[in-house]
Structure 1
C-alpha cells in the first residue's frame, strides 16, 4: 500500500467518522460504495467537499468521471495525485 492510499483511508475514516474500522482493514481495490466499504450518496458528497478542501481538487457534481474516481481507494489516490493543488 502506498502512502497516499493509507492517507486517504485515514482521511475517509476521520471525515465520515467511521469508528469501527481501521485503515488496514480497508482493501485498496474494494468498492467504496454499496459493497466493500458500504458508503452511500451522502457520504460521497461529504467526502467530495472534504477532498476539495484538503487537496485543492476541482470536483464537479455532475462529472461522468466521478463514479470511476470514487470507485476504490486506488482510483481515488490516482485522481488525487494527478489533480491536487495542495500538498
Structure 2
C-alpha cells in the first residue's frame, strides 16, 4: 500500500537534499534514513527538518531523543507529520 503522505515525504527528501540519483520508489518507507538505508548525515537532517517545517508546519528539536525517533524512517516521519496535523 502506498501512503500518500509517505510518498510526499519521500519526494520532499529527494527535493530538499538534491538526491539526483534517488527515485521515490527506491526509498523503503521502513528503512533507516541515517547510517544504513539512505545514509543521510546531520546536515541532511537539518535541511530535512527545515523542509518539513516549511511544508507541514511541524517543529522538530535537533537535540530531542523524540526527534531521532521521528527521523528513523520515512514511515516514522509520516506518522509524526500526521499526528502533528491532528494535534
* Smaller-chain TM-score bracket: over 0.9
Matches within 5 A, 1:4-83: 4-83=5-84
Cα offset, 1:62, TM superposition: 1.9
What is the TM-score normalised by the length of structure 1?
Answer: 0.92
Cα offset, 1:27, TM superposition: 0.4
What is the TM-score normalised by the length of structure 2?
Answer: 0.92
| Rounded Cα–Cα distance in structure 2 between residues aligned with 1:14 and 1:8 | 10
Unaligned runs of 5+ in 2: none
| Rounded Cα–Cα distance in structure 1 between residues aligned with 2:65 and 2:39 | 21
Q: Which moved more, 1:76-85 or 1:26-35?
A: 76-85
Aligned length: 85
Larger % of helix: which? Answer: 2
